[in-house]
């Protein structure tokens, strides 16, 4: 460009008292800025009345200060007619210094409904996120498809579904439900890695209360049908229940801190220096777990005694509580923790906990997080209700997840591991790299009482016929079974357990094993397109 100006241009600039290097402000730009300010003011008025943040206020909470860069600000709008833009905001920002893509639905614009313009913006953002290999976060607050646009709105949902599936396992995807999400719109978040809801204002359902009442006669509120509490405790749809929007968004930031930007990268690492308090907690692990295998305890106390600084971020904490899954760091490296919870139904595996474990292991395997499994389970939950609910089909998901995982896997049997549950909970035979057991642990097909009743049923029956003390004889057989079969020595001798470790050695043993496995490589074993996972 040339710095030479005509004399008339100079005279006009001087007359208007403007610096020669300042670009004149166009009327359209000024009008756009005015529309943007008015739109946000209107949004704040409407949302605050409902106890909700505006879409832009939510973005301020999600991203590191001053890092949000919006794209397509006025796409779908009409500046000349006073329309500021579409009902969705798209752009990029930093979360703990790493780039993240976001789309945030704006309920103050046409109820946040999705039409052609909104669908195009979201798909364009996702295309950019896939090219850049960065996570996608969606802030959902929408009345669903825009009825006025008919099938075009539904078509846009189809495009988003396909993009979400394309991104699955490639980049982390997190959905925050901060308002209504109904009808076909629910499948956008359902396809992502995490769904985060809040106690108030957050709803998800395929069919709303009014339709249900007209079709079935059932009267039910939106909260009882698809509120955050229901999906966090009953259906298992939500992975975290935030106290409010700020808490929900903070959880999303925390989850991203443990995950890599894409499957092509390793998770971030953090500085860690062991403290005296950490070592003291690790030394007390043996006191947390009772010797009596029927006495409950909180597995979270064990986990906090193993991981860095005792920090453990649970996933689906309120659902299927006989299993615990979540993120932590060991020696500064993020890992996924899977554990049975003896405080809930003795840590038994049922249909819900099986699916909870399986999905989390698949998530860890997709994004290069090692899996640490802490085992203390009596087996699968018996009963016709479990069989009819599909314990065979749904329990098989745990097997599929562990057997196909290629990230480093370390398992520790804390107290007991019986039957099929022992096999599926990260045993060496199913694919774990390193397996440990505490000296007092019990590993067998059945617990002592159940095994004795089967193995020695004839002797017990004869003793009863002869008037002998059956209970004394049964106890004798139980003690014999515990000594000869239940202890973990058999697994140690056959190579299914690599070493017996004292409880206070647990953290160090896991850390050393993960350090050994840090360079483990993925291997493509066959040319198949993909397996047929039990659904």
What confidence tens digit (pLDDT) does each residue in 132-173 have?
A: 999 999 999 998 889 899 899 999 999 999 999 999 999 999
**DSSP-assigned beta bridge partners for residue 236:** none
Residues with a known catalytic role: 183-184, 420-421
Instruction: Tell me the mean pLDDT in the region 221-227.
Output: 95
Q: What is residue 322's predicted lDDT score, i.e. its pLDDT?
A: 97
- The sign of the CA dihedral 61, 66, 71, 77 is positive
CATH number of the 276-441+487-517 domain: 3.90.226.10
- CB count, 10 Å around CB of 494? 9
* Residues in CB range of 151: below 8 A, 6 or more apart: none
Instruction: Indicate yes or no: pTM above 0.75.
Output: yes
User: What percent of the chain has a predicted confidence (pLDDT) above 70?
Assistant: 88
Which comes out higher in pLDDT, residue 49 or 117? 117
Longest dimension (CA), the chain: 125
**Per mean pLDDT, which range of 38-42, 183-187, 191-195 is the poorest?**
38-42
pLDDT digit string, tens, across residues 417-465: 988 888 999 999 999 999 999 998 888 766 666 666 777 777 777 777 7
Say what the pLDDT of residue 156 is: 95
- Which pLDDT score, from 0 to 100, does residue 129 have? 98
- At residue 22 the predicted structure's pLDDT band, cuts being 50, 70 and 90, is low
Alpha-carbon gap, residue 534 to 360, rounded angstroms: 15
Domains 28-258 and 276-441+487-517 in one fold:
yes
Q: How confident is the model at residue 101, as a pLDDT?
A: 98
pLDDT for the residue numbered 17 = 44
pLDDT in tens, 371-424: 999 999 998 998 999 999 999 999 999 999 999 999 999 999 999 998 888 899
Interatomic CA distance for residues 256 and 96, integer angstroms = 9
pLDDT of residue 24: 56
Least confident interval from 70-74, 242-246, 467-471? 467-471
Domain ranges of the chain: 28-258, 276-441+487-517, 447-486
Q: What CATH code is assigned to 28-258?
A: 3.90.226.10
What percent of the chain is modeled with pLDDT above 90?
A: 67
Report the DSSP pairing between strands 499-500 and 180-182.
unpaired
């Amino acid at each position: 460009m040339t710095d030479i100006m005509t004399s008339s241009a100079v005279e006009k600039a001087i007359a208007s008292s403007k610096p020669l290097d300042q670009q004149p402000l166009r009327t359209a730009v000024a009008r756009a800025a005015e529309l943007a300010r008015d739109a946000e003011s209107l949004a704040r008025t409407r949302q605050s009345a409902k106890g909700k943040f505006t879409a832009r206020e939510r973005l301020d909470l999600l991203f590191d200060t001053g890092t949000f860069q919006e794209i397509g600000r006025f796409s779908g709008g009409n500046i000349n007619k006073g329309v500021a833009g579409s009902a969705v905001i798209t752009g990029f920002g930093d979360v703990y210094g790493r780039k993240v893509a976001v789309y945030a639905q704006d309920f103050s614009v046409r109820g946040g409904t999705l039409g052609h313009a909104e669908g195009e913006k979201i798909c364009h953002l996702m295309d950019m996120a896939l090219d850049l290999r960065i996570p996608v976060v969606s802030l959902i607050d929408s009345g669903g498809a825009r009825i006025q646009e008919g099938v075009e709105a539904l078509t846009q949902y189809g495009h988003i579904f396909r993009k979400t599936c394309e991104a699955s396992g490639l980049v982390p995807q997190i959905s925050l439900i901060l308002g209504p999400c109904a009808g076909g719109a629910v499948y956008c978040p359902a396809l992502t890695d995490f769904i985060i809801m809040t106690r108030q204002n957050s709803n998800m359902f395929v069919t709303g209360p009014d339709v249900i009442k007209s079709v079935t006669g059932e009267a039910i509120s939106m909260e009882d049908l698809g509120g955050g509490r229901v999906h966090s405790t009953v259906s298992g749809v939500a992975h975290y229940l935030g106290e409010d929007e700020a808490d929900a968004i903070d959880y999303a930031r925390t989850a991203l801190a443990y995950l890599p930007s894409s499957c092509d990268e390793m998770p971030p690492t953090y500085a860690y220096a062991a403290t005296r308090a950490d070592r003291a907690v690790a030394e007390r692990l043996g006191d947390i777990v009772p010797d009596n295998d029927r006495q409950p305890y909180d597995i979270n106390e064990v986990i906090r005694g193993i991981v860095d600084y005792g920090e453990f971020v649970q996933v689906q904490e309120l659902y299927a509580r006989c299993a615990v899954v979540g993120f932590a760091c060991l020696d500064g490296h993020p890992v996924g923790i899977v554990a049975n919870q003896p405080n809930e139904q003795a840590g038994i595996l049922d249909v819900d906990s099986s699916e909870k474990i399986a999905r989390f292991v698949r998530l860890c395997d997709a994004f290069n997080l090692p899996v640490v499994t802490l085992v203390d389970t009596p087996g699968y939950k018996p009963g016709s209700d479990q069989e009819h609910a599909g314990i065979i089909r749904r329990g098989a998901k745990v097997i599929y997840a562990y057997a196909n995982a290629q990230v480093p896997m370390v398992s520790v049997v804390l107290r007991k591991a019986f039957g099929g549950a022992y096999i599926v909970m990260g045993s060496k035979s199913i694919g774990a790299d390193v397996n440990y057991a505490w000296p007092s642990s019990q590993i067998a097909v059945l617990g002592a009482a159940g095994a004795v009743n089967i193995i020695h049923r004839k002797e017990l029956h004869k003793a009863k016929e002869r008037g002998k003390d059956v209970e004394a004889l049964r106890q004798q057989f139980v003690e014999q079974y515990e000594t000869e079969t239940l202890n973990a020595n058999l697994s140690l001798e056959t190579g299914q357990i690599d070493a017996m470790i004292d409880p206070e050695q647990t953290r160090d043993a896991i850390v050393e094993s993960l350090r050994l496995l840090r360079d483990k490589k993925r291997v493509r074993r066959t040319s198949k397109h993909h397996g047929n996972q039990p659904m």
